[in-house]
């Protein structure tokens, strides 16, 4: 009985119900995916460096960066006038693993 309740709670508090929704929304956009891929060869980028790699406007890139920061995909660090963004690799991997485990619980 208690075990059943416990497993129901586990489902309810599982990743597929809460913050992974925001994460998947953030990851669904191709521009944002391309932004992430920029970090393959360099750890940090300031906003204008990222914007210069796209045809999109700087405010648009800024919007995407802030959205990804809010959903914990990116972090930022201020250094003088510039703001450097980087990828939160461990957070992303943990979330993906968590979802994979949830899926594993399906019949």
DSSP one-letter code for 42:
-
CB 36 within 8 A of CB 96: no
Does the protein bind DNA through residue 63 (CB under 7 A)? yes
The smaller minimum CB distance to a second copy, of residues 57 and 100, is found at 100
Among 39, 47, 76, 83, binds a second copy (CB under 8 A): 39
Residues 104 and 2: their CA atoms lie apart, in Å, by: 22
**Span interacting with a second copy, options 48-56, 60-68, 77-85, 93-101, rule CB under 8 A:** 93-101
- Sign, CA torsion 70/71/74/75: positive
Among 9, 58, 70, 105, binds a second copy (CB under 8 A): 105
The least CB distance from residue 80 to DNA, in Å, is 3
Q: Does residue 86 sit in helix, strand or coil?
A: strand
Put residue 42 in one of left, alpha, beta given phi > 0 → left and psi -120 to 50 → alpha: beta
**Span interacting with a second copy, options 20-28, 52-60, 62-70, 77-85, rule CB under 8 A:** 20-28
Per CB under 7 A, residues contacting DNA are 25, 28-29, 31-32, 46-49, 55-60, 62-67, 76, 78, 80-84
């Amino acid at each position: 009985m208690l075990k059943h309740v416990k497993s129901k709670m586990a489902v309810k508090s599982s990743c597929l119900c809460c913050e992974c929704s925001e994460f998947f929304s953030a990851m669904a956009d191709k521009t944002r995916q391309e932004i992430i891929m920029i970090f393959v060869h360099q750890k940090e980028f300031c906003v204008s460096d990222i914007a210069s790699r796209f045809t999109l406007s700087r405010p648009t890139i800024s919007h995407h960066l802030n959205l990804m920061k809010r959903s914990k995909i990116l972090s930022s660090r201020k250094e003088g006038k510039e703001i450097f963004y980087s990828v939160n690799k461990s957070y992303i991997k943990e979330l993906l693993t968590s979802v994979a485990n949830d899926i594993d619980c399906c019949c």
